[in-house]
Amino acid sequence: MAGVAVEVLGQASGYAERPSRLAGAVVWTNVPAAGARPVLPDGCMDLLWSEGRLLVAGPDTRAHDPGDTPARWVGVRFFPGTAPALLGVPAHELRDRRVELADLWPAAVVRRLRGRIDAAPDPAAALEEVALWRAAEADPPDPLTARIVAALDAGRPVAATADELGLGVRQLHRRSRDAFGYGPKTLARVLRLQRVLASARAGVPLAETALRAGFADQAHLARDVRGLAGMPLGRLLGARG
């Protein structure tokens, strides 16, 4: 699913990811180069560890600047819509934010977890264990979230998605804000951005990519991509390596 794939631009070869034992999640590690390019919206939320800190990356509506200071990062990227049940907070409260985990969970619990990860020979595996532990303790996510993602990622209109799920448009919007951090129209744009990038990088001509993604034309595609990514599509496509 496109929304799970990370879009970290301009990173050195220190980025790696693997599927998590937590359904739909990805475990990743990264040591970005100084001046690394922004992280693009992908519909996901992440549990992060970096140099003794535990944080949560909320859902982005715009490109996130990681800053100029190189640091080691590990993360668990949750399938879209599943993190709020684990974290115990609606996604919209974390939209476009990076917050300390201790702001969401009891400080003593976070200190204990942080100590385990700091001491672990493989912080990524230790962070994954935290996510698995929390998933076992928490209520399951809204069962409709995966269906919402699937419908919007397939290009279904918002009204048609609501009808298929037996929801009113306002109900779909409320559930989407809680699960994804924003309404279904924004989620659809974010997922479409990921499809566009995957298609263009696979060598599909931009005019055809625009048509497949449901844009009126290539200029419409370019405006929407720039609005989400903060840079032209051509720069995004040339940012790898």
- pLDDT tens, residue by residue, 195-225: 999 999 899 999 999 999 999 999 999 999 9
DSSP per residue, 43-64: S-EEEEEETTEEEEE---SS-B
Q: Whole-prediction pTM value? A: 0.89
Instruction: Give me 148's structure tokens.
Output: 């919402």
Which residues are 71's β-sheet partners?
A: none
Take residue 101 and report the two structure tokens written for it.
Answer: 């985990």
Tell me if 184 sits within 8 A of 176, measured CB to CB.
yes
Q: Residues with Cβ < 8 Å from 59, sequence gap 6 or more?
A: 41, 43, 44, 45, 91, 94, 95, 96, 180, 181, 182
| Mean pLDDT across the chain | 90
Check pLDDT > 90 for residue 81. yes
Identical fold, 2-137 and 145-237 = no
The domain at 145-237 falls in which architecture? Orthogonal Bundle (1.10)
* Domain range list for the chain: 2-137, 145-237
Please give the pLDDT value at position 70. 64
Architecture of domain 2-137: Sandwich (2.60)
pLDDT > 60? residue 239: no
